[in-house]
Chain A
Amino acid sequence: MALPTNKSTLATALSHWNPADLETYLTLYDDNAVLHFLPPGMPQGIAGARQFYGAFFAGFPDATILIDTLVEEGDRVACLYTMEATHRGEFNGIPATGKPVRVSGISILRFAGGKCVERWSEMNLMSLLQQIGVIPAS
């Protein structure tokens, strides 16, 4: 049987990207993964990812991810995605607004031995905060 490719490993992990399945999603990462998108003060590796997504899902429990494009070269996979969710819980100190959000993001994951060992990520946080009404739309 052929080994899964890094693209398929990522696609499988993202199919588990929801609050109930968070631990399955987290198996994407190496214990010591370097996650450049984590805010300062958060631990790195799986522990940091668990904390980050735990906080995110608390604010947006119905969040879903749609993969728009995957681009792979060597040990890296880039992923363009669209995230849709409803702001049903507290997020970064902002109480639930009940508003629906739709934002795009692009992540680059570097793999070694079938695990993500490093990730860079850009998500349109500005647009998300505008959609929940915290920042005025430009």
Chain B
Amino acid sequence: MSDQNKSVVRRWVERGFNGRDMAEFDIYYSADLVDHGLPPGLPPGREGRKLFASAFFIAFPDVHLHVDDLIAEGDTVVARWSAHGTHLGELMGIPATGKPVNITGIVIDRFENGQAVELWEVFDQFGLMQQLGVIPS
């Protein structure tokens, strides 16, 4: 079960996020997804997650996500990730700066029947804003 859920995570990272295939988001996330990691202002659940990712793809068209570690127990998988990209589009009102960024984060997904039904995520939003020069270092 744990190994199976890990492969589901890896597939979504490669085909969904890195492959920019939004259909993979519908395969990966349950329609009833409860998302505790979404910034305020987005609709809840799977639609919010898709809009959040789409906003990132516009702001960082070359963004690439790398899974640095997977920890699985029971129905839960924890992924430690790092991402790099170039700020070539508008992000939450911040015009493109052309700056390269490196971000890290950790996400916890709980699975039911092979789909993520609940997730918690914390990523270095503060570090991202510093790298964009929006917040002083």
* Interface residue ranges, A against B (CB under 8 Å): 68-69, 71-74, 76-78, 80, 104-108, 120, 122-126, 129, 135, 138
Contact = CB atoms under 8 A, between A and B. Distances in A.
A130 to B, nearest CB: 10
A129 B73 CA distance: 33
Given A106-B122, A122-B122, A129-B126, A73 B92 contact: no
User: How would you classify the secondary structure of chain A's contact residues: helix, strand, loop or mixed?
Assistant: strand
A106 B76 CA distance: 14
Nearest to B121: A106
B97 interface: no
Given A78-B78, A129-B126, A138-B41, A122 B105 contact: yes
B80 A120 contact: yes
24 contacts: A69-B76, A69-B120, A71-B73, A71-B108, A73-B72, A73-B73, A74-B71, A78-B78, A78-B106, A78-B108, A104-B122, A106-B78, A106-B106, A106-B121, A107-B106, A108-B69, A108-B71, A120-B69, A122-B106, A125-B125, A125-B126, A126-B126, A129-B126, A138-B41
Contact of A138 (B40, B104, B108, B122): B40
A124 B122 contact: yes
Given A71-B71, A138-B41, A108 B125 contact: no
A77 B122 CA distance: 16
A8 to B, nearest CB: 15
B100 interface: no
Interface size class of B (residues with CB under 8 A): 20 to 34
Contacts of B31: none
A124 B106 CA distance: 11
A73 B108 CA distance: 14
B51 interface: no
Contacts of A104: 36, 120, 122
Nearest to A128: B126
A106 B124 CA distance: 11
A73 B79 CA distance: 12
B135 interface: yes
Given A122-B123, A126-B126, A80 B108 contact: yes
B90 to A, nearest CB: 14
B39 interface: yes
Contacts of B1: none
B71 A72 contact: yes
A124 B125 contact: yes
Contact of B39 (A69, A76, A129, A138): A138
